Structure 1
Amino acid sequence: MQPDTTVLTRRAFLSASLLAGGGLALDFTIPVQAAVPAGASVLGAFVSIAPNGAITIMGKNPEIGQGIKTSLAMMIADELDADWAQVSVVQADVDPDRYGPQFAGASLSTPTNWLPMRRAGAAARDMLLRAAATRWNVPIDQIKTAKGRLIHGATKRSLGYGDVASAAAMLTPPDLQTVKLKSPDQFSIIGQPTRGVDSGRVIRGEPLFGIDTRLTGMLYAAYEAPPAHGAKLRSADLSAAKAAPGVKHVFQIQGAGGPGGVVEGIAILATNWWYANEARAKLVLDWDMTAAKGHSSEDYAAQAKALLDANAGIDFERSGDPAKAMAGAAKRIKSRYDYPFLAHATLEPQNCTALYQNGQIEIWAPSQQPQPGRELIAKELGIPLDKQIVHITRIGGGFGRRLNNDYMAQAAAIAKALPGVPVQLLWSREDDTRRDFYRPGGWHEFEAGVDGDGKIVAFTNHFATFGADGKSQRFANMAERHFPARLVPNLAFTQSYMKIGIPMGALRAPTSNAMAFCFQGFLDEVAVLGGRDLPSLILELCAEDKIVGDADAPDIAPKGFHTARARAVVEKVVEISKWAERPKEKGRGRGFAFYFCHQGYFAEVVDVSVADDKSITVHKIWAAGDVGRQIVNPMMAEAQVRGSILDGLAQALEGQKITFTDGAIEQSNFSDFRLGRIDRNPDVEIAWVLSDFHPSGLGEPALPPVIPALTNAIYAATGTRVRSLPIEL
């Protein structure tokens, strides 16, 4: 789902209604012009003001630690001129009619909500001002607001927001397209480093996450799914498992479709999860593995090599005459790059709690997009949307995994089989690793030619990936405008396709997390070939001011690639890292990379040393980013950049890869799919480059460049090129 503009109208600001306690409740919906059926989705928010001035703001989007529950509330509260100390934020349940898309992914929450949330706060403030003007019988322009109070300067009178909330609720809302918004210099909450509204509760270990859900009489469910993707259950002996300690129910669940929904298997329910999971070992199951045969990571790598060798890819981007330009180039270089399948490895394993009774189901789900989860339950289990109540819990790591709602449908299927019994489904770590939607592997062959000045005159890329019928599958694709497309006069991007039997999905900065490594690594090779460094090559490619790709749209951060913004972050990171003074001694080096994705621009420099035993130490990383004119919450923004960088380092340095034979995943836990370690975390220095555009999100754009910056640094330190991930020297 990629909404490209959000419009808030006066008509959509549905009502201002009195609360029972005499406060103000502002309820409004915001139509979204997006990739959704007309009129089917709305964007909304809910603000209530109590008589004592306490303000409650509903947090509509899922919170994964990215801070959106805090930052969206900050947008509303600032335009409302609220006292942040009086604001509380409550997680909203799923309600598409009221809140519109409730979605956490693709770094979209900030850009799609920047104006709507501010307009919501400004509209509420306008109504409060008019109510105060009526009470005092003074012109509205004589009244100012500050920290939840209305102030009449001439008479030095003041009122708290709660004092006029009831009267304000009776007024007609303003035109939300023309309601006056603050200028950035007037912000008092936006732009301030602000602790997450739930941070204290997280630190104290209070129940917030899906896994924390507890209901009276709840049973705990473990689920035995097929041991390989594509396997089918032939027979099952459940007797021993049924007799295991603490076990209350054991039964088969029929599959309802592909891996994205209810997968067939055996549900075991017990008085605690340990009992349920231990009973799995007592199941006697016979699986038909026929459909899983042939889906092996080694086989895919061999197929990809054959496709690259054949050099018969399908064009999807071409300009000029690359073959002719390549033949006439002063120097040429050709290289192959590859990267593995990856799992998400979320700290909180997949889980969901469900209660089915009287034809209605109630769900507690740590989902990144719970609305499609409701639709999945309706489709596969026949429970209508109006018979579903879905509570959004805090999420203990998503990274794109929880954009899929298979665990949600699975829990609903188990609960439907046990009406009146609350059920909590929890996957083991091994389940989580082996039943993922994986970042697909990929294989690239590059060739480039430069003239006598080191300028690129020809550039080609052949991408062996997964797809069929002349088209790549989602998450195994590549943008036709991928940098340096449309900046090099003679260029060709081609693709060859393989069929795949393993589920694929979005991993933080999907596609970009892999493409950056390949393209920026090879461009560093091209720079060296031309006798220059990568920053100067990028600056040359971006020398002309232009927009590549999508044209700018109103009211949202632009999706097109702006060369001027790219230049600015490259120049900034060169400055703060003192690139010109980088070390030259053997075993120590700095690498640079730049990338644009998710509407954000990041350039990064990594400083590494490589010891004689080939161990790698990352000393420091510099990052310069442009995500528009305003950083909503600098504290959370820096945390997102650091987290992205650490994720990228782990992918490259910790041996992360998923391998499989005949559809069976060979990794199982953090022991063989390692995460980064605190003692390996480098110092990270972050600089913001502010540009005159609406702000964009920060969940992803800082991740892609860190991997090629690291591998380019290893080359600078050792002279050894890293063209395959994870890094093995």
Structure 2
Amino acid sequence: MADGNGASRREVIQLAAGGGGGLVLGFSLVGKGEAASSAARLNTYVTVQPDGWVEVVSKNPEIGQGVKTSMPMLIAEELDADWSKVRTVQADSDPGLYGRQFAGGSMSTPLHWDELRRVGATGRALLIAAAAKSWGVDPATCSTEPGRVVHAASGRSAGYGSLASAAAALPAPDPRSLKLKDPKDFRIIGQPMAQVDTPSIVTGKPLFGIDVVVPGMLFATFVKAPVFGAGVEAADLDAARAVKGVRKAFRVEGAGGTEALSPGVAVVADTWWQARKGRDRLNIRWKAPSEPGLSSRDLEARMASTARSSVDRIERHDGDVDAALKGAAKRIEATYHYPYLAHAALEPQNCTAHYSKGRMEIWAPTQNPEAGRQLVAKTLGIRPEDITVHLVRCGGGFGRRLSNEYMVEAAWIARETGAPVKLLWTREDDIRQSFYRPAGWHKFEGGLDASGQLVAWHDHFLTPGQGVQTARSAGMSATEFPARFVPNFRYGLSILPSPTPTGPLRAPGSNGISFAVQGFIDELAHAAGADPLAFRLKLLGEQGLVGTPGRDGYDAGRMRGVLKKVAEVSGWGRTRMAPRQGQGVAFHFSHLGYFAEVVQVRVENDGRIRVEKVWVAGDVGRQIVNPSGAINQVQGSVLDGLSAALGQEITLEGGAVVQGNFDDYRLMRIADAPPVEVHFVLSDHPPTGLGEPALPPAPPALCNAIFAATGKRVRRLPVDPALLVAS
């Protein structure tokens, strides 16, 4: 994702502070050539209290990726605050103050690394100026220690709290004129910091959307058709209303499609369990869909038929692939498939809404609050400025909460009910009414010359969509590796019609593409009689950056660096494996991060897989903001990828999703989770995000390890242990 505000000039503005003469700093993001005015977007971030405590606003949604800690760390570092006296405050959704607020694409660090540090640096400059004015000295002769301004020549010092009122009266300097800290002087950035919400999480204090309580609040459930978009034929509303505690039961005709408000039936009650009991008595008859419901078998048949025919269109063609394949010493073919996946965040979708006197107030665990506000406004016919969105911590997002239909549902039900309402989905709702990671099929052909060099690559990629358009998150870039690294390269695309709604899931696109591409590369290495890691290094070659930085750039040197590092730390090629034990390697570039991983497995004779350990090497630039949070994100990404590869698949029957809970959509259990050893390779590039790029290499490294242990190739996910039974 990219920041759409186009900001190129940043100025700090001084705001009047309420409550005890505190100092409030803000940022105004304005477009090039614009003047800061009352209409400019203002971002207030920092408050220094008279007692020395510093409150730092975290503007973006916290979904478990740690930005509520790491983003305030950037500000506090340049402010030279005492981190032990910093309070983090979650912002509400307010694009007028904060610009774009979202959690997605691993973009929080790259978008705010410079901007937020300058917020802190400007605050520090004001505090120094206030102290220097008080002492009658040159500000250049003053410095800071955590929470204090110091004048070494006279031995004087003053705490930030005592300087706050005076600093608030001074004109703010141009943040671009300020010198930021040398990284060697960092006191906060680069130190492992506990997440600011951890005490509340481990003690069970209300924190998440599911915990929100509003006076006079009722509870709602909303049932939708198992076949996406189908309408309500009939429902026994009186039976639902007869349940004790049920206040209302009514049909919703739907508006705006699946991504806004689907047809369904709402039940509102004093407690959620009463609402659920009323729902169970609705006896809904759904309208027949306009087209026969699609099944997974139908999709498989369509895929097989399409794979045998020519591609819909060629997305990239370098060299002469057909001639190179014909002249190859070895020619390898394989078909890979990965399924639809649900996000299955531990906190089901929920939202609390209150409509009163023409205004809507919403408490939402959302990754994209402004998009939610606009969607509610459009669907309900309310002015966006009459909608307030409070951001509450998400119990997982993984891209699912970039869609906001549950916000619209809660707002609609609240307006119909005339009271505050908390809408809470069931687990079955969450899994069966999602925007799924798209399924995909890759039909590969590869050619090796007599020396084992890869000289030809053809990928016929089959993916869901409609007409000529791929479904959301179902496309593949024409520069996806190994494009530009194979002299004769062809990528053809075919679109399979599918009504299943799709959307981004952690490392969109990459989480499936990497499994297929890195699996086939492993097959080519085996056919060449080469070590899989050495084959990959040879494929990357000796070149550096390929393409344009920030657009289609791919730095082969950085990828070689993480490959060599993971080989070193994993003992690749030096560790003696027992029978049915093996190591597999894979790498992938996504979300500006370069990652290579080695997985070690043992496959029992009955086909059961035990992942023994994972080693990870990643390059996300020159600085790790919060090592504790960074390691957590990498480990979580790897376990997420392994969990999906080992046990997760969404299938369709008659147009409806079959899976519904964690008994048939299995998440990895603690006992199955292997140790994940994380290493960062620092490089001289701006720091980038960590929520997603460590996931894509995990599934192919796992499957390549299974091949090393058993000699059996996994070309379809999830892994089927029955195919790995010792013969």
In the alignment, what sits opposite 1:624? Answer: 617
The match for 2:425 among 424, 427, 432 is: 427
SS at match of 1:462: strand
Q: Is the 8 A contact 1:332 1:450 kept in 2?
A: yes
Counterpart of 2:258?
A: 259
Maintained 8 Å contact 1:32/1:42: no
List, as ranges, runs of 4+ consecutive aligned residues in structure 1 with deviation greater than 4 Å.
4-8, 39-43
Q: Which residue of 2 aligns with 1:158?
A: 157
* CA shift in 2, pair 1:609/1:534, >3 Å: same
* Alignment coverage as a number of residue pairs: 716
- The more displaced of 466-475 and 210-219 is 466-475
Would the aligned equivalents of 2:518 and 2:700 in 1 still touch at CA under 8 Å? yes
Name the structure 1 match of 2:220.
221
Task: Identify which range, 570-579 or 177-186, moves more after superposition.
Answer: 177-186
How far is 1:16 from its partner? 3.9
* Alignment TM-score, normalising by the size of structure 1: 0.96
Is 1:678 aligned to 2:693, yes or no?
no
SS at the partner of 2:176?
A: coil
For the structure 1 residues 456 and 658, does the alpha-carbon distance in structure 2 shift closer, same or farther, using more than 3 Å as the test?
Answer: same
* Aligned residue number for residue 610 of structure 1: 603
C-alpha contact (below 8 Å) 2:79/2:120 kept by paired residues: yes
User: CA separation in 2, counterparts of 1:431 and 1:20?
Assistant: 45
Does 2:579 match 1:581?
A: no
**Matched position secondary structure for 2:284:** strand
The reply to whether residue 111 of structure 1 matches residue 104 of structure 2 is no
Specify the code of the residue in structure 2 equivalent to 1:193.
P
> Identity over the aligned pairs, expressed in percent?
49
The 5-angstrom pairing of residues 329-340 of structure 1 reads 329-340=328-339
1:295 Cα offset (Å): 2.0
What is the deviation of 1:305?
1.0
Partner of residue 301, structure 1: 300
What is the aligned partner in structure 2 of residue 36 from structure 1? Answer: none
Contact 1:590 1:716 in 2 (8 A): yes
Alignment correspondent of 2:20: 21
The one of 411, 430, 442 aligned to 1:444: 442
Retained in 1: the 8 A contact 2:349–2:430? yes
Q: What code does the residue aligned with 1:641 have? A: V
Given that 2:248 and 2:417 are in contact with CA atoms closer than 8 Å, whether structure 1 keeps it comes out as no
Q: Secondary structure at the residue paired with 2:179?
A: coil
Question: What displacement does 1:539 show?
Answer: 1.4
Q: Do structure 1's residue 705 and structure 2's residue 697 form an aligned pair? A: yes
- Answer yes or no: is the 8 Å Cα contact 2:5–2:100 preserved in 1: no
Q: Over residues 84-106 of structure 1, what are the superposed CA-to-partner deviations in whole Å (9 max), with x where a residue is unaligned?
A: 01100011000001111110111
Contact between 2:236 and 2:281, CA under 8 Å: does it hold in 1? no
Separation (CA, whole Å) in 1 of partners of 2:152 and 2:562: 45
Counterpart contact for 2:514–2:588, Cα < 8 Å? yes
Letter in 2 for 1:2: A
Structure 2 Cα separation of the partners of residues 612 and 722 of structure 1 = 16
- Residue type of the alignment partner of 1:126: A
- Inter-CA distance 560–41: structure 2 relative to 1 (3 Å threshold): farther
Superimposed CA distance per residue, residues 534-578 of structure 1 (whole angstroms, 9 cap, x where no aligned partner): 2212212222333234424xxxxx862111101100010011111
| Contact 2:5/2:99 (<8 A) preserved | no
**Offset of residue 40 of structure 1:** 11
Q: Please give the alpha-carbon distance, in whole angstroms, between the structure 2 residues aligned to 1:567 and 1:178.
A: 38
| Per-residue CA distance 1:463-509 (angstroms, 9 max, x = gap) | 11122343322211111100010111110000111221111011111
CA contact (8 A) 1:43 1:101 kept: no
Q: What is the match of residue 35 of structure 2? A: none
Q: Measure the CA separation in 2 of the matches of 1:41 and 1:547.
A: 38
Answer with 537-546 or 511-520: which moved more.
537-546
Q: Secondary structure at the match of 1:324?
A: helix
Deviations, residues 222-262 of structure 1 (Å, cap 9, x unaligned): 11111211311122331111111111111112201211111
Distance, in Å, in 2 between the alignment partners of 1:359 and 1:445 is 55
Give the superposition deviation at 1:311.
Answer: 3.1
Q: What residue in structure 1 maps to residue 390 of structure 2?
A: 391
Query: Which residue of 1 is the match for residue 538 of structure 2?
Result: 540
Any idea what SS the aligned residue of 1:629 has?
A: coil
Please name the residue that 2:366 is paired with: 367
Residue 480 (structure 1) aligns with? 478
Counterpart among 492, 495, 499 of residue 494 in structure 1: 492
Amino acid at match of 1:84: W
Q: Deviations over 1:290-342 (max 9, x none)?
A: 23524222111110111111133410011111111111111110000001111
For residue 659 of structure 1, the aligned residue among 630, 633, 651 is 651
- On the 8 A contact 1:81/1:147 being kept in 2, the answer is yes
Q: Is the 8 A contact 1:582 1:589 kept in 2?
A: no
Using the size of structure 2 for normalisation, the TM-score is: 0.96
> Alpha-carbon deviation of 1:171?
1.9
For the aligned residue pairs, the C-alpha RMSD in angstroms reads 1.7
Report matched runs for 1:49-88 at 5 Å: 49-88=48-87
Output the CA distance in 1 between the equivalents of 2:112 and 2:613.
34
Partners of 2:288 and 2:336 lie apart in 1 by 33
Please state if 1:380 is matched with 2:379. Answer: yes
Q: Is the 8 A contact 2:479 2:552 kept in 1?
A: no
Cα distance per residue 1:414-444 (max 9 Å; x no partner):
011123x110000011111110111111111
Q: What's 1:688 paired with?
A: 680
Question: Hey, what does 1:239 align to over in structure 2?
Answer: 238
- Alignment partner, residue 555 of structure 1: none
The CA distance in 2 between the partners of 1:616 and 1:19, in whole Å, is: 60
